[in-house]
Structure 1
Amino acid sequence: MTTKVTSCKLQVASKNLLRFISGRGFLFLSLVTCHLLLTSCGFHLRGAVTLPPQMERTQLLGVDARSALAAEITAALEDAGVRVVAGDATAQLVISGERQARRLLSVGSTGRASEYEITYQFSFELRAPAEATAAGAKPAAVVLVPQQSVSLNRDYSFDPDNVLGKGDEESLLVREMRSFAVRQMLVRLQAALRQSQ
């Protein structure tokens, strides 16, 4: 009797499994399997940066909190799941040397500028906040990622008859370069911290 009940349960279970696999269940099962395979090998969609727990609460130093660079870094960190805090941080991201420059590349036949190169750069360093000591000595912060620079160059053609339009184009180009430089910084931080673990 027990074997008959068990075999009936197995038949019902196998029928349910076949119905599941033949319907939308197969698609669901395939998607779950693909997701597990891709995430297990470390694959992430472009733009997705996963920062380690040491950066869970990061303090941004060395840059004006109202600047475009600070806003871009804050947004990128928050997109990566990091809380940007003013104090009680697990890490300190120190930004320095932000600079943008424009250099003449070529002159047209009329002697007027026809092409410029824009350079955008800044340096960054990641530190673990210093722990207070009982002796009262000023503790040194531990450097997690040594200072590195991100530098980008772009050229663009310049039309002296459309100065206003080219000024807008240059501003847009600088914004895109800033965004790409911040993205590059996060990828470098992710790689450096993964290597140190």
Structure 2
Amino acid sequence: MKPWPRLLAAISIILLSGCGYHLRGADRTALPASLKTVYLQAQPFSELTTALRLRLDAAGSDMVEGPGRGVAVISLSGERFDQGLITLSGDGRSREYQLTYQVQLAVQGAANMTPQRVSLVRSYLGDERDRLGQAEQQELLRVEMARELADQIVYRLRAL
């Protein structure tokens, strides 16, 4: 077998690792030791709460049923999902919408973080004649935004 393909592969691996490239999910979710045991204080059946629980579990955090000694309390409050109109068509029909998903994040206990507002904004084109399709599109975007918001929260927690 020719040595060129192996040499080329080895050089590629060295260059990619040298520039900071890593596979998605490869140790990116590691949380600080102060967040090893957490209590999540949030709306229990929210899509955001469910997504955040999954991400904290994947990051190796142990979820407990209540606050206690050595437990970081992650508090999500003021969760809001709003829809607003951005543009109208020439005949006055709504054309483009803006969705905003926001929550207040705070951490107390083993780790501390002052309250911060975390938010996402998305826009989409809607067809006034297709109300059902528009409602389905909005619901899909809401679920996707909740997952992205959970990712943002985990990234902020990693900085503690």
Query: Normalising by the residue count of structure 1, what TM-score does the alignment of the two structures yield?
Result: 0.66
| 1:115 and 2:83 aligned | no
Equivalence for 2:64: 85
Select which of 88, 108, 122 maps to 1:154.
122
Looking at secondary structure, tell me which structure has more strand per residue.
2
Select which of 76, 81, 105 maps to 2:55.
76
Q: Greater RCO between the two (CA within 8 Å, min separation 6)?
A: 2
TM superposition shift of 1:173: 0.7
Structure 1's unaligned 5+ residue stretches are 1-21, 130-142
Residues 98-155 of structure 1 deviation map (CA, whole Å, 9 limit, x = unaligned) = 10111111111221111110011101111116xxxxxxxxxxxxx6111111111111
Report SS of the residue matched to 1:161: coil
- Structure with max Cα Rg: 1
Equivalence for 1:135: none
RMSD: 2.6
Distance 1:144 1:94 in 2: 11
Distance 1:66 1:103 in 2: 25
Aligned-residue sequence identity (percent) comes to: 33
Residues 146-194 of structure 1 deviation map (CA, whole Å, 9 limit, x = unaligned) = 1111111111001012111111111111111111111011111111x1x
Residues 57-106 of structure 1 deviation map (CA, whole Å, 9 limit, x = unaligned) = 10011x22222221111111001111211134621101111101111111
Query: Normalising by the residue count of structure 2, what TM-score does the alignment of the two structures yield?
Result: 0.80
Distance 2:106 2:20 in 1: 25
Select which of 148, 154, 159 maps to 1:186.
154
Looking at secondary structure, tell me which structure has more helix per residue.
1
Aligned residues: 147
Distance 2:106 2:136 in 1: 32
